[in-house]
Amino acid sequence: MANDRIFGAGSWRRARDIARHPRFHEGFLEAFGGQSLDYAKLDRMPPFDQCRYENGREVATECRCAGLCIDWRHRNSLPGALKTYLIGRIAARKAGRASDPYRAKPQCVRDERWDKPISS
């Protein structure tokens, strides 16, 4: 659960619908590509779109940190690696293994291009 009292998706069916949202896809691609957050752009979005955009950026950051290579060109066609990651995230949440990402110790540190791990 996040600070905004919005619970994460509890099933693949729900996660798939969220991931197909245009702002989720946009946020994912921008974060996965290494673009910094554009706060002015975020301020122009309605609250629901902001939430989806931020969800996409969060998942992209987690995928990059996990070392996943995801080429997601079409919003309605989720790559297998992303589907597998999201299903694992849902399973961890259901099993009570999910933790607050802001309190968790970072699992890895990456260089600017995110192409190789560096020791922390």
* pLDDT tens-digit map of 30-70: 999 999 999 999 999 999 999 999 999 999 999 988 888 89
Q: What is the structure's pLDDT at 7?
A: 59
Look up the domain containing 39 and give its range: 12-118
- Does residue 7 belong to any structural domain of this protein? no
Per residue in 75-112, is it b (16+ CB within 10 Å) or e — as a string? eeebbeebeebbeebbeebeeeeeeeeeeeeeeeeeee
10-16 mean pLDDT: 85
- Does residue 2 belong to any structural domain of this protein? no
Please state the domain count of the chain: 1
Q: What is the structure's pLDDT at 43?
A: 94
- Does residue 4 belong to any structural domain of this protein? no
- Does residue 71 belong to any structural domain of this protein? yes
Q: Look over the chain and give the mean of its residue pLDDT values, rounded to a whole number.
A: 79
68 or 109: which carries more pLDDT confidence?
68
